[in-house]
């Protein structure tokens, strides 16, 4: 397909970094004080040359093929401040990163427009949101880790990768983590993790190798999208232990790629088993890597996004656009055959 000029905001740095693998030019509005959403190419990411900054006051004069929204604030407020009338009428996509917060089943999505394409990052999110008359599709995560990074598991500890534990609280399992750490040795990394006794933030390009040394990856999150760090850990060959909630049951199969449950004592028992049996951990990690290679490849992710951009802009589609992810085998059916933060 032809190369597009896409205006979007910096909302989820890791996701934006992977999205920039698509063969298009991405323009990020920036403001002098770099507030949330307007911090451009900032952050611990090796941004490629196709990601550009543009002063917010100049956005309305920018020739763009598509506007990609990623937050309710930018859709409801900021577009009226920085976009031209023509840009507000042109091809538009809204990327929804999260499941509904106000109510899990009865929350109407902020977008109610048949001319906007609403992209969900998991089938669970698409199921839970009331998307009304807005056309939707699901594009599952795609990740890539540095060549040669593979699981070793030499550290007899578990690793947790979650941003903002101190202020996101129960939703991301902060209380559960406090309980589990009394029984199992765990290290925590992520944005502001120092506030809860963690090791701080690890640069994105170094994170896979950092994770691969740990015996297992623990995902304590109760209710959010599938974390990109989970996908990256699986790609490196780490076994996953986590709560059997939201999208994780479609990704992790007990005894094959890790262990999931809703009972913390059973999760603790599995973590102890992995610490005591490195061979078991390696076997489950190999299963996790097989799932990740089949389901979360970056090439599939780029193909799906190219198809979504083509659908929004009226161009020829280079690949089948997935209307849902339900036609893709999930972990509960074995290793997926074909293809959400931290």
Is the pLDDT assigned to residue 234 strictly greater than 50? yes
Examine residue 123 and state whether it is found in any structural domain, yes or no.
yes
Are 271 and 323 in the same domain?
A: no
Cα three-residue angle 301-303-307, rounded to 5 degrees: 115
Using 50, 70 and 90 to split pLDDT, how confident is the model at 44?
A: confident
Are 123 and 165 in the same domain?
A: no
- CATH number of the domain that 52 lies in? 3.40.50
Domain containing residue 247? 155-295
Are 206 and 328 in the same domain?
A: no
Is the pLDDT assigned to residue 333 strictly greater than 50? no
Q: What is the pLDDT of residue 322?
A: 42
Examine residue 92 and state whether it is found in any structural domain, yes or no.
yes
Question: How many Cα neighbours within 13 Å face the side chain of 41?
Answer: 13
Residues 255-283, mean pLDDT to the nearest whole number: 98
Cα gap 192→30, rounded to integer Å: 23
Q: What is the pLDDT of residue 318?
A: 60
Examine residue 150 and state whether it is found in any structural domain, yes or no.
no
Are 282 and 255 in the same domain?
A: yes
**Predicted TM-score (pTM) of this structure:** 0.91
Using 50, 70 and 90 to split pLDDT, how confident is the model at 339?
A: very low
Between 54 and 43, residue with greater pLDDT: 54
Residues 63-86, mean pLDDT to the nearest whole number: 97
Are 253 and 323 in the same domain?
A: no
Tokens of 301: 């992710």
Q: How many domains does the chain have?
A: 2
Is the pLDDT assigned to residue 328 strictly greater than 60? no
Q: At what angle do helices 278-295 and 228-236 cross, to 10 degrees?
A: 120
Is the pLDDT assigned to residue 208 strictly greater than 60? yes
Examine residue 326 and state whether it is found in any structural domain, yes or no.
yes
Cα gap 215→184, rounded to integer Å: 12
Are 204 and 227 in the same domain?
A: yes
User: Cβ–Cβ contacts within 10 Å for residue 18, how many?
Assistant: 24
Q: What is the pLDDT of residue 315?
A: 77
Q: What is the pLDDT of residue 332?
A: 35
Is the pLDDT assigned to residue 341 strictly greater than 50? no
Examine residue 338 and state whether it is found in any structural domain, yes or no.
no
Are 131 and 30 in the same domain?
A: yes
Cα three-residue angle 209-212-217, rounded to 5 degrees: 130
Residues 202-219, mean pLDDT to the nearest whole number: 96
Residues 234-260, mean pLDDT to the nearest whole number: 98
For every residue of 305-319, DSSP letters joined together read HHHHHHHHHTPPPSS
Is the pLDDT assigned to residue 183 strictly greater than 50? yes
Examine residue 149 and state whether it is found in any structural domain, yes or no.
no
Question: How many Cα neighbours within 13 Å face the side chain of 31?
Answer: 11
Are 124 and 232 in the same domain?
A: no
Query: What is the four-CA torsion angle of 175, 176, 177, 179, rounded to 10 degrees?
Result: 90
pLDDT, tens digit, 9 for 90 and up, residues 270-327: 999 999 999 999 999 999 999 999 999 999 999 999 999 999 999 776 644 443 333 3
Examine residue 195 and state whether it is found in any structural domain, yes or no.
yes
Question: How many Cα neighbours within 13 Å face the side chain of 130?
Answer: 9
Using 50, 70 and 90 to split pLDDT, how confident is the model at 206?
A: very high
User: Cβ–Cβ contacts within 10 Å for residue 166, how many?
Assistant: 13
pLDDT, tens digit, 9 for 90 and up, residues 147-162: 999 999 999 999 999 9
Q: What is the pLDDT of residue 335?
A: 29
What is the percent of the chain with per-residue pLDDT over 90, rounded to a whole number? 90
Cα gap 120→136, rounded to integer Å: 7
Are 238 and 258 in the same domain?
A: yes
Element (H, E) at 8: strand 5-8
pLDDT, tens digit, 9 for 90 and up, residues 100-147: 999 999 999 999 999 999 999 999 999 999 999 999 999 999 999 999
- CATH number of the domain that 220 lies in? 3.40.50.2000
Are 304 and 290 in the same domain?
A: no
| Beta-carbon contacts of residue 139 (< 8 Å; ≥ 6 apart) | 119, 120, 121, 301, 304, 305, 308, 322
Are 119 and 50 in the same domain?
A: yes
Are 59 and 23 in the same domain?
A: yes
What is the percent of the chain with per-residue pLDDT over 70, rounded to a whole number? 92
Examine residue 339 and state whether it is found in any structural domain, yes or no.
no
Cα gap 297→300, rounded to integer Å: 6
């Amino acid at each position: 397909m032809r190369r597009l000029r896409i205006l979007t905001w910096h909302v989820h740095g890791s996701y934006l970094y992977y999205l920039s693998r698509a063969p298009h030019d991405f323009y990020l509005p920036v403001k002098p004080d770099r507030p949330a959403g307007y911090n451009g190419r900032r952050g611990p990411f090796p941004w490629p040359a196709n990601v550009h900054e543009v002063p917010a006051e100049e956005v309305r004069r920018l020739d763009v093929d598509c506007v990609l929204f990623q937050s309710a604030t930018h859709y409801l407020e900021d577009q009226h401040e920085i976009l031209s009338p023509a840009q507000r009428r042109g091809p538009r996509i809204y990327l929804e990163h999260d499941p509904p917060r106000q109510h899990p089943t009865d929350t109407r999505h902020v977008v109610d427009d048949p001319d906007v394409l609403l992209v969900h990052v998991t089938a669970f999110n698409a199921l839970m949101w009331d998307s009304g008359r807005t056309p939707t599709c699901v594009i599952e995560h795609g990740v890539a880790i540095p060549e040669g990074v593979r699981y070793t598991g030499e550290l007899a500890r578990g690793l947790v990768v979650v941003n903002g534990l101190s202020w996101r609280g129960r939703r991301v399992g902060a209380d559960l983590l406090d309980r589990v750490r009394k029984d199992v040795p765990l290290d925590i990394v992520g944005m502001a993790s120092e506030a809860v006794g963690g090791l701080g933030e690890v640069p994105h390009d170094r994170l896979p190798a950092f994770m691969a040394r740990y015996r297992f990856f623990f995902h304590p999150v109760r209710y959010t999208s599938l974390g990109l760090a989970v996908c990256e850990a699986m790609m490196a060959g780490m076994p996953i232990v986590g709560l059997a909630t939201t999208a994780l049951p479609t990704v992790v199969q007990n005894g094959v790629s890790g262990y999931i449950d809703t009972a913390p004592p059973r999760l603790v028992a599995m973590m102890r088993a992995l610490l005591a049996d490195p061979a078991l951990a390696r076997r489950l990690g190999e299963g996790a890597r097989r799932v990740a290679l089949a389901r979360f490849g970056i090439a599939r992710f780029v193909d799906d996004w190219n198809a979504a951009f083509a659908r929004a802009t009226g161009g020829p589609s280079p690949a089948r656009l997935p209307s849902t992810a339900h036609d893709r085998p999930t972990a509960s059916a074995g290793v997926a055959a074909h293809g959400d933060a931290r």
